[in-house]
Every structure is written in structure tokens, then in C-alpha cells.
């Protein structure tokens, strides 16, 4: 019994692993393990039974957590957009834009995956949508099955790291940080990861062009009557939009001064980016609308199609993320606006009906309940684990590692990488992150950087062969048997499970490369955050001391107590560099004359 009592925390953690390996659902494994070891701990005297009295308050705190309300809002927004046909239109349009170049369809999948990630935030919706729409087209025109499967699965997982990612919301809640700061920190790493995907596709297009062929001319549907592709007007429209955006960014302070009526000399960078991009896209939309209603023929079919398909989701992204970055709305309010905006977009497209809304609400409720049950189970386990001094055991285990911060980060990321084979990001966020965060904070690691780093690593949990959830999602929609292509009428071979696994491996390596870059260059995360204002306490003290000095007009002020007498022989340095004043007169003398004047005279420094 002494051994169990002395090693209660590690035995409890091992018990949780056994519960999970037995196949019990994670939420119930956490709760059952916590309650079982709570009973054992009380019986063995490891902690008092009064510890469990805190459990109801913890559970009420979960239900009162406003941050978690953002999860169902962003889920509902993504499901409505995905089921209203936005993904299909985006893939079709962007595929036509990039199709004429080698690897164009793969680039379109990456670009649309990033857009869907910024609007849906749900991996399953992105992977299934692109698998149903893009995979048959890529197979039809000769794409390598491994490459096509890998790029679809990897692009779908971008919903893990591109705001408004659900895992970033959970991570911020577990780390006790702002969701807005977590979104800002993940912004640059997310786009670097997208860029790495693009570089890999371009590499294949140069050195293995047979794996990523271009679309044949007969597959390009948005062509002009003269046979042209219509790219000239698209480039001109994008140029006008870019000029407007740059002009707005450069003159943002003047615009604020004109709007507010008071001089503004500084505008935050994130505000410039959001407002400038929003202004540029609105101008492009107005030009397209003017061309459509006046029928002047200023834009090609391709340019008009791109404008009407891309700009509504972009404006929704600016509405949601822009208001969060600018501090106008909280993440919960931004999610609510996003859900309402998605419903308005679905209604305008005439694709939002009651059945679609019911399906989206039902799926949102299921996911929200899933998150809440895991959080309740994790709270029960965490309360008992803390009572058994589990965090101290974890701290002693990790702080003694060689290499300091770098050694700790490498070990933690290796641990997360292997745990991600068996646990998804919700489970990792609720089980592992609360144990690691206190140690990271004690070692001086920025928790926003730490959270984004873990989120990128957890992204690999969707791509691990053979357990990656994104691979399962893609397997569910990829053809398992030979089928006849509806356009070419040719018999197409199926996509095997092993081809999906092999296609995922290069993208897993890219994601691990991104983890290494974040460890080597933390400024990729922290450089985009608002800098903490440094307060000069010495300067404030000097200013207060000066303001308390007596003056001819006021006659008040002192840096000592009223009537205090300096210690005999005290050095001037001990008084902040001001020599001691003469001893104050006796109280009787002060009361006979003006007492306030006597105090002032006693506290004046010598000239």
C-alpha cells in the first residue's frame, strides 16, 4: 500500500491508458477513471474526501464558459456552407482558373481547402466534400492516385490550424489564453503550411509532370467566344482590387482621422490588413455587379464567375475573423455572426431549406455534446489527478530533461505525435495539454506559441497511416470498385487503401517540417501578437515622488509619512538619493502654530 500511496499519480495515469486501450469511449474512460481513483485515494488517505466537493463547481464552470459557445456556432456555420454547395462551386471555379497549368487541379484543391478551413473549421466536411467533387475529376484527367488522395486529405486537415479552427478554441480554453490571440498566432504558420503544400505540388509538376497533368482544352468550360481563356480581364480586376487594398492600407490613419474627426497617427497592422482586403474585395464585387446589370461586357465569363463565387465566402471570413482580430467581437459573437451569414448566403443561393437546416443543427448538437462530455470527463479526472499531486509528478518528470526548453519541446512533440495515432485532437487537448501547460509556463515558454505548436502537431493525427481520420473520411467516398466515368465513359480503376496511405506520407513529413520550423523560429507565432506594454516602475516612482514634492501654490506632498523622523545616521542613498530633512518640531510646537505648515517644513529636502 505504501508503494501505491507514494506513486498514486503515475498509477492513476497508467490506469487511464488501460481504460482507453480496453476500448471504452474517451469521455466515459476519463470520468470512470477519475471517480474510481477518487474512491481509492480517499480510502488510502492520499487526499481528503472534501476534494470531491469542488466537482459540482467545476462542472457548473464548464456550462458557464462563454468561450466554448464558439464551438457549436462555427460548426453550424461550416455545415451550412458545405451543404449549400459552396465547396462544389469553389472547386469547379478554382479548378478552371488553375487547370491549364500542370498540377493546377492539385493547387485548386489546396486553395479551396484553405478557404473551406477558414469558413467551416471542420475537417470531415472539407475532406468529404473535396473527395466527392475533386477526386473523380483528378482521376479522369490522369492524376496519380497516391498524389490525388494525399493532397485532398492534407488540404482538408488545414481546418485544424487555419482560424476559425475548433482545436484552437479548445486549446485557448485549456491554456487560459485569449482565442483571438491564438487565432493571430496561428495565422502566419497556417499560410506557411499552405505554401509548403504548394511548393510540393510545384516540385512534382517540374520533376514528375506525368503525376499532375494539366486539364485538356476540352475540359475548360469558361471560354470566350473567340476561344480565349478570359484571363486578361481577371488579372486586371485583381490588379484594381489590389491597388484599392494597398491604398486603403497606406492611408488608414487619414481615413480614421476623417471619420472620427480627431487626429489618428497609428493604426494596428491587423486592422490595416482586414480593412484593406475587405475594401479591395468589395470594389471587385461592385465592378462585377455593375458589369452584370449593365451588360457592358467588361469582364470575361471566367472573371465574372470567379468574382461571384470567391467573394461571398471571403467577405464572410473578413466578417468573422476581422471582427475578432480587431476586438470588435468576441469569438463567440464572431461565430454567431458567421452562422447567421452562412444562413443568409445559403438563402440567397436558394439552397437553404428546412431539411438542410435540420441536418446541420443535428450534426452540430452531436459534436457539441461530444465536446462537452469529453470536457466533463476530463474535469473529473483532472480534479482527482491534481489532488494526488499529479502536476508535480509531471513537472519533475519533464523539467529534468536535458536541453532545457528545446529538449522539453522535442519530447512533448514526439509524445503528441505518437499519441495522435490513437487519440484525436479533442481528446489530446483535454487530457494531455492541461498536464503540459503548467510545466511549459514554468520553463518560460510562451503559451500561445506552445498552443499553436501543439495544434500543428495534432494536425498529423488526421494523416497518420493507418489510423488517420482524414484517411478514413476519404476512404468512405473514394471509389472501391471499378466504375464508368460519366464524362469520358471509360472504365476507371478504384483507389486502394494502400494508395491513400502512401499519398499521405509526404504531407505528414511536411507537417512535421512545419513543427520544426515553429520550434526553430518562435517569432512566426509571437511576432503577430500584440506586444505587452512594458511599465517603467522606477520612472513611475520618480514621477510620483516629484508630484508629491511641496510647491508654493499647493503646499502638499511628501515621500515620507506625516511627521515621520528619519533614522539617525541614515545615508542619503537610503532615501532614494534625497538627503534627510531636519527633525520635525515636537507636536506641541506644531499645534501651537499651523500644524500643516510645520509638517511641510519638516519634510522639505535641504537645498
Q: Who has greater pLDDT, 441 or 602? A: 441
Greatest Cα pair distance, the chain, in angstroms, is: 114
pLDDT of amino acid 507 = 92
CA dist 290 and 284 (Å) reads: 10
Report whether the peptide linkage leading into residue 164 is cis, meaning its omega lies within 30 degrees of zero.
Answer: yes
- Mark whether 403 and 263 lie in a shared domain: no
Mean pLDDT throughout 34-57? 84
pLDDT digits (tens, 9 = 90+) for 462-486: 888 877 878 888 888 888 888 887 7
572 band by pLDDT with thresholds 50, 70 and 90: very low
Q: Give the model confidence (pLDDT) of 95-108 as tens digits.
A: 888 878 888 888 98
Residue 91 lies in a domain: yes
Model confidence at 493, in pLDDT bands (50, 70, 90)?
confident
Is residue 123's pLDDT more than 60?
yes
Give the integer Cα–Cα distance in Å for 152 and 129.
10
Same domain as 95, residue 194: yes
Quick one: pLDDT at residue 195?
A: 93
Among the ranges given (20-29, 332-341, 551-560), the one the predictor scored with the smallest mean pLDDT? 551-560
Percentage of the chain with pLDDT > 70?
88
Please state the domain count of the chain: 2
Half-sphere exposure of 237 (CA within 13 A, CB side): 28
pLDDT, tens only, 248-263: 888 888 888 888 788 8
Same domain, 366 and 492: yes
User: Measuring CA to CA, which residue among 309, 341, 305, 346 is closest to residue 323?
Assistant: 341
Question: Quick one: pLDDT at residue 559?
Answer: 46
In a domain, 350, yes or no: yes
| Residues 6+ positions from 427 with CB-CB distance below 8 Å | 26, 374
Query: Do 246 and 206 belong together in one domain?
Result: yes
Q: Of residues 533 and 215, which shows the higher confidence score?
A: 215
d(CA 16, CA 13): 5
Domain end (from 497, 527, 557):
527
Distance CA 338, CA 316 (A): 7
Q: How far apart are CA 336 and CA 327, in angstroms?
A: 15
**Is residue 580 in a domain?**
no
R_g of the chain, CA atoms, integer Å: 31
Reply yes or no on whether the pLDDT at 121 is more than 70: no
Answer yes or no: do 347 and 454 share one domain: yes
> What value, to the nearest 5°, has the Cα angle with vertex 344 and ends 340 and 346?
115
Same domain, 263 and 179: yes
What mean pLDDT do residues 589-606 have?
47
User: What are 494-546's pLDDT values in tens digits?
Assistant: 888 899 999 999 999 999 999 999 998 988 888 767 655 555 667 777 777 77
Strand boundaries in 134-237, DSSP class E: none
Q: Is residue 602 predicted with pLDDT exceeding 90?
A: no
Burial, 410: exposed, middle or buried (Cβ in 10 Å; 0-12, 13-18, 19+)? Answer: middle
Same domain for 451 and 420: no
**Quick one: 181 and 306 in the same domain?**
yes
| pLDDT average, residue stretch 109-116 | 86
Lowest-confidence pick of 271-280, 448-457, 550-559: 550-559
Q: Is residue 395 part of a domain?
A: yes
CA-CA distance, 260 to 243, in Å (whole number)? 24
Q: What is the pLDDT of residues 340-370, one digit of tens each?
A: 888 888 888 788 888 888 888 898 888 888 8
pLDDT value of position 140: 84
Mean residue pLDDT across the chain: 80
Task: Look up the domain containing 453 and give its range.
Answer: 80-371+446-527
Give residue-wise pLDDT tens across range 413-460.
888 888 877 777 777 888 888 888 888 888 888 899 999 999 888 888
Q: Which of 16-20, 182-186, 354-358, 564-568 has the lowest mean pLDDT?
A: 564-568
| pLDDT at residue 274 tops 90 | no
pLDDT at 589 over 70: no
C-alpha 250 chain-centroid distance? 28
Same domain, 438 and 456: no
Question: Does residue 591 fall inside a structural domain?
Answer: no
Same domain, 218 and 98: yes
305 and 216 co-located in one domain: yes
pLDDT in tens, 175-195: 888 888 888 888 889 889 999
Q: Does some domain include residue 232?
A: yes
In a domain, 216, yes or no: yes
pLDDT of residue 537: 64
- Residues 472, 324 within the same domain: yes
pLDDT-derived band at 592, boundaries 50, 70, 90: very low
Spatial distance between the Cα atoms of 216 and 99, rounded to a whole number of angstroms: 8
* pLDDT at residue 579, as a whole number: 42
Residues 399-412 have pLDDT tens digits of 777 777 888 888 88
The answer as to whether 573 is a domain residue is: no
Q: Which among 477, 501, 527 is the end of a domain?
A: 527
> Domain boundary residue among 418, 443, 468?
443
Amino acid at each position: 500500500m505504501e508503494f501505491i500511496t507514494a506513486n498514486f499519480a503515475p498509477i492513476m495515469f497508467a490506469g487511464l491508458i488501460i481504460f482507453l486501450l480496453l476500448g471504452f469511449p474517451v469521455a466515459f474512460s476519463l470520468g470512470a477513471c477519475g471517480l474510481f481513483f477518487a474512491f481509492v485515494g480517499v480510502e488510502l488517505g492520499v487526499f481528503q474526501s472534501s476534494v470531491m466537493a469542488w466537482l459540482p463547481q467545476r462542472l457548473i464552470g464548464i456550462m458557464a464558459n462563454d468561450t466554448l459557445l464558439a464551438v457549436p456556432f462555427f460548426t453550424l456555420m461550416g455545415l451550412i456552407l458545405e451543404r449549400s454547395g459552396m465547396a462544389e462551386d469553389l472547386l469547379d471555379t478554382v479548378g478552371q482558373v488553375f487547370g491549364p497549368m500542370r498540377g493546377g487541379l492539385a493547387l485548386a484543391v489546396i486553395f479551396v481547402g484553405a478557404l473551406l478551413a477558414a469558413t467551416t473549421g471542420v475537417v470531415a466536411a472539407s475532406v468529404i466534400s473535396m473527395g466527392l467533387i475533386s477526386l473523380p475529376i483528378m482521376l479522369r484527367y490522369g492524376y496519380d492516385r497516391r498524389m490525388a488522395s494525399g493532397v485532398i486529405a492534407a488540404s482538408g486537415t488545414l481546418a485544424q490550424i487555419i482560424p476559425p479552427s475548433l482545436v484552437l478554441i479548445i486549446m485557448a480554453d485549456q491554456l487560459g489564453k485569449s482565442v483571438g490571440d491564438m487565432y493571430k498566432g496561428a495565422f502566419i504558420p497556417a499560410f506557411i503550411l499552405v505554401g509548403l503544400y504548394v511548393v510540393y505540388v510545384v516540385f512534382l509538376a517540374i520533376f514528375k509532370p506525368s503525376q499532375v497533368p494539366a486539364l485538356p482544352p476540352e475540359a475548360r468550360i469558361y471560354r470566350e467566344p473567340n476561344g480565349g481563356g478570359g484571363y486578361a480581364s481577371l488579372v486586371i480586376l485583381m490588379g484594381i482590387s489590389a491597388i484599392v487594398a494597398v491604398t486603403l492600407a497606406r492611408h488608414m490613419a487619414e481615413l480614421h482621422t476623417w471619420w472620427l474627426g480627431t487626429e489618428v497617427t497609428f493604426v494596428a497592422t491587423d486592422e490595416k490588413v482586414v480593412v484593406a482586403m475587405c475594401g479591395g474585395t468589395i470594389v471587385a464585387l461592385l465592378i462585377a455587379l455593375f458589369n452584370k446589370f449593365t451588360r457592358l461586357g467588361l469582364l470575361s465569363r471566367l472573371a465574372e464567375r470567379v468574382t461571384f463565387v470567391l467573394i461571398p465566402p471571403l467577405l464572410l471570413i473578413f466578417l468573422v475573423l476581422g471582427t475578432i482580430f480587431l476586438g470588435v467581437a468576441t469569438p463567440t459573437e464572431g461565430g454567431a455572426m458567421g452562422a447567421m451569414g452562412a444562413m443568409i448566403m445559403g438563402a440567397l443561393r436558394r439552397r437553404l431549406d428546412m431539411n438542410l437546416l435540420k441536418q446541420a443543427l443535428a450534426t452540430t448538437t452531436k459534436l457539441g455534446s461530444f465536446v462537452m462530455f469529453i470536457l466533463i470527463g476530463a474535469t473529473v479526472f483532472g480534479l482527482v489527478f491534481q489532488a494526488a499531486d499529479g502536476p508535480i509528478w509531471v513537472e519533475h518528470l519533464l523539467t529534468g530533461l536535458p536541453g532545457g526548453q528545446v529538449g522539453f519541446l522535442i519530447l512533448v512533440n514526439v509524445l503528441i505525435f505518437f499519441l495522435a495515432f490513437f487519440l484525436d485532437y479533442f481528446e489530446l487537448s483535454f487530457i494531455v495539454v492541461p498536464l503540459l501547460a503548467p510545466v511549459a509556463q514554468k520553463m518560460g515558454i510562451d503559451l500561445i506559441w506552445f498552443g499553436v505548436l501543439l495544434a500543428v502537431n495534432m494536425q498529423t493525427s488526421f494523416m497518420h497511416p493507418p489510423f488517420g481520420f482524414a484517411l478514413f473520411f476519404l476512404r468512405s467516398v473514394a471509389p472501391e470498385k471499378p466504375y464508368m466515368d460519366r464524362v469520358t465513359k471509360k472504365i476507371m480503376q478504384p483507389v486502394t487503401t494502400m494508395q491513400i496511405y502512401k499519398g499521405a506520407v509526404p504531407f505528414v513529413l511536411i507537417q512535421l517540417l512545419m513543427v520544426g520550423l515553429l520550434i526553430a523560429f518562435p517569432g512566426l507565432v509571437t511576432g503577430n501578437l500584440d506586444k505587452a506594454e512594458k511599465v517603467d516602475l522606477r520612472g513611475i516612482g520618480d514621477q510620483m515622488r516629484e508630484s508629491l514634492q511641496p510647491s508654493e501654490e499647493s503646499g502638499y506632498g511628501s515621500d515620507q509619512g506625516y511627521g515621520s523622523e528619519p533614522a539617525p545616521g541614515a545615508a542619503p542613498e537610503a532615501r532614494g538619493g534625497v538627503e534627510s530633512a531636519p527633525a520635525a518640531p515636537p507636536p506641541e510646537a506644531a499645534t501651537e502654530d499651523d500644524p500643516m505648515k510645520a509638517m511641510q517644513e519638516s519634510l522639505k529636502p535641504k537645498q
